[in-house]
Amino acid sequence: MGLILIGLAIGLLPINLTAFPFGDALLRTLVMLALTSIILMSAKRLPRESPIGIWGVFLGATFVSTGVSLAAAIAVFGYPLTSRDIPIWIAYFLWQFQLSLFASVVSEVLSSRAEIRKQLIASLGQDQLDSDVRAALGRIRNRELAQYIHGNIQNKLLSFALKFDQDNLSADDVSRLLDEVDTLFSKAISDYQSVDTADLDEQLAHLVQRWAGFVNIAQSSSLSKSDLSEEQIRSLVQVVSEGVSNAVRHGFAKNLKINIQQSASDNRQIEVTVEDDGLGPRSGKPGLGTELLNATSGTNWSLTAGKFGGSVLRARLNPRS
């Protein structure tokens, strides 16, 4: 806007200097610039459905500004208005109207461009935010499905593999186990969509029953059912299931102890401990199990060697909401 005003001043000075002294021309220019700003503000405040119209505002404001400029010149410099001055003032009026219109158009273009850019950025920002939210929700759903397959399905398959490894299996036993495996896969999606996590004790009992005959699991919990939300129960079961699965699959454990209680250092947190008598922790590339523990416990988990062998998994679930 400052450049527009400077341009208007430079544009007006030549025509004024041909008819008036420099001081008079400068005064007229400043008056015109001030009133041009009034024109712009008046035009912006004018309702779109106004019968006056934008041209009426320009014409009226230009008449007023020309009259004020003439009155200022007479008051300051004492110039009388004679007949030979009329053509000069008409030319001045037309020149002022032209420059006012030009300044208004340029100003409107710049302001419209800024407004369009602002709305575009706001729109793109909201679209990007919506896209990020959808992507995050998609990652969460994919992670939950991957954890379900990695924990629930894989653990059941491992228990089936141990059953197939038994001696003296008859053909009927093998056929029955194969039917159970087929049923597991056929019901995998429906079971995932209808996972019931309303009762922690019931979920832990199912976990112990699944490994019955292959691993001895002793489990205890000091938590009240009313203290846990459904999401917290789901997280607890996932952590315990992951601990059991790793102890059997990687450590070849035969006996496990599971304990769930409030954390001694922070009673808002829940501490899960899974001890086994296997080979102990083994190094390897982090996988879905590590991602599960990170998701449920952040950095508040550890897998260390047991005092008398085996491994100990300790995880503190994030504060309860």
**Strand partners of residue 270:** 262, 317
Q: Is 194 exposed, middle or buried (0-12, 13-18, 19+ CB in 10 A)?
A: exposed
Look at residue 169 in the predicted model and tell me its pLDDT.
Answer: 77
| Mean of pLDDT over the chain | 72
pLDDT in tens, 88-104: 666 666 666 666 666 66
Angle ∠(191,197,201) on CA atoms, nearest 5: 120
Sign of CA dihedral 199, 204, 206, 209: negative
Tokens of 7: 């341009």
User: Distance between CA 162 and CA 158 in Å, rounded?
Assistant: 6
Helix (H) or strand (E) holding 217: strand 216-221
Q: How crowded is residue 210: how many other Cβ atoms within 10 Å of its Cβ? A: 18
What's the pTM?
Answer: 0.46
SS3 48: coil
- φ/ψ of 98, rounded to 5, equals -65, -45
Tokens of 134: 């959808």
- Options 3.30.465.10, 3.30.565.10, 3.20.190.10, 3.40.605.10; CATH for 199-320 is 3.30.565.10
Look at residue 58 in the predicted model and tell me its pLDDT.
Answer: 63
Higher pLDDT, 163 or 121: 163
Which pLDDT band holds residue 184 (cuts at 50, 70, 90)? confident
**Strand partners of residue 258:** 219, 274
**Strand partners of residue 317:** 270
If you average pLDDT over residues 111-125, what whole number do you get?
72
pLDDT in tens, 214-241: 789 999 888 876 677 777 888 888 888 8
User: Distance between CA 294 and CA 315 in Å, rounded?
Assistant: 10
Percent of the chain with pLDDT over 70: 50
User: Distance between CA 96 and CA 8 in Å, rounded?
Assistant: 9
List the one residue out of 87, 310, 78 whose CA is nearest residue 215: 310
Look at residue 9 in the predicted model and tell me its pLDDT.
Answer: 47
If you average pLDDT over residues 45-56, what whole number do you get?
59
